[in-house]
């Protein structure tokens, strides 16, 4: 069992932000709308919620998931210290991040200290560490000294 080190208040704020970001989803092909909200800090410790939605494309592989949109927005704005992400998709199931998004998140976090909140609503969610979702992962440390 993992020890959850994030407050209920932050969890609720992240889910609300992800749900709102979902309104901007551009998903005319799959019609599967997803929003994500990252809990991030910059180098000075300032904390922020940075959101993203899925953005599809007529050339299907060019589309981007909500989680990666949020990560790329955050990093390009100077926020690359991440504590958690909330994901809201269809509300009849929990939306679990795809393998590529798990790996992209892994680049910036210690997997056992980063929480993935998969939410149907503010009160109905599943929370896992990235370590649980992506065990024995490959990260920047593996390239140290190469
Ligand atoms: N999608 C996400 O944005 N995040 C996930 O965690 C799962 C899948 C998107 C990609 C695509 O636009 C649509 O959902 C259907 O796969």
Give the CATH number for residue 44.
3.40.140.10
State how many domains the chain has: 1
Cβ of 26 closer than 6 Å to ligand 1, yes or no, is no
Could you confirm whether 67 is annotated as catalytic? yes
Each residue's pLDDT tens digit, 17-61: 999 999 999 999 999 999 999 999 888 988 999 999 999 999 999
Note whether residue 54 is domain-resident.
yes
pLDDT of residue 145: 83
> Which is catalytic among the residues 47, 67, 113, 132?
67
Q: How many CB atoms neighbour CB 34 within 10 A?
A: 24
Give me the domain span that covers residue 61: 8-134
pLDDT for 127 equals: 97
pLDDT of res. 42: 83
Residue 43: helix, strand or coil by DSSP?
coil
Q: Is the CB of 87 under 6 A from ligand 1?
A: yes
- 1 in a structural domain: no
Q: How far apart are CA 101 and CA 72, in angstroms?
A: 11
Has residue 144 been placed in a domain? no
Is ligand 1 within 6 A of the CB of residue 19? Answer: no
Condensed to tens digits (0 to 9), the pLDDT of residues 99-143 reads 999 999 999 999 999 999 999 999 999 999 999 999 999 999 999
pTM of the complete model beyond 0.85: yes
Domain membership of residue 145 (yes or no) is no
What number does the ligand 1 atom closest to the CA of 54 have? 3
Sheet order of strands, 35-41 included: 47-53, 35-41, 81-88, 115-119, 125-129
């Amino acid at each position: 069992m993992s020890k959850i080190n994030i407050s209920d208040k932050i969890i609720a704020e992240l889910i609300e932000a992800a749900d709102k970001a979902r309104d901007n989803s551009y998903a005319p092909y799959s019609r599967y709308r997803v929003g994500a909200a990252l809990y991030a800090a910059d180098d000075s410790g300032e904390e922020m919620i940075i959101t993203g939605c899925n953005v599809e494309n007529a050339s299907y592989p060019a589309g981007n998931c909500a989680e990666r949109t949020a990560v790329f927005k955050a990093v390009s704005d100077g926020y690359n210290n991440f504590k958690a992400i909330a994901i809201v998709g269809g509300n009849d199931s929990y939306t679990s991040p795809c393998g590529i998004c798990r790996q992209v998140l892994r680049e910036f976090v210690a997997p056992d200290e980063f929480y993935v909140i998969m939410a149907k609503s503010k009160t109905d969610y599943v929370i896992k560490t990235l370590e649980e979702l992506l065990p024995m992962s490959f990260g920047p440390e593996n390239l140290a000294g190469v």
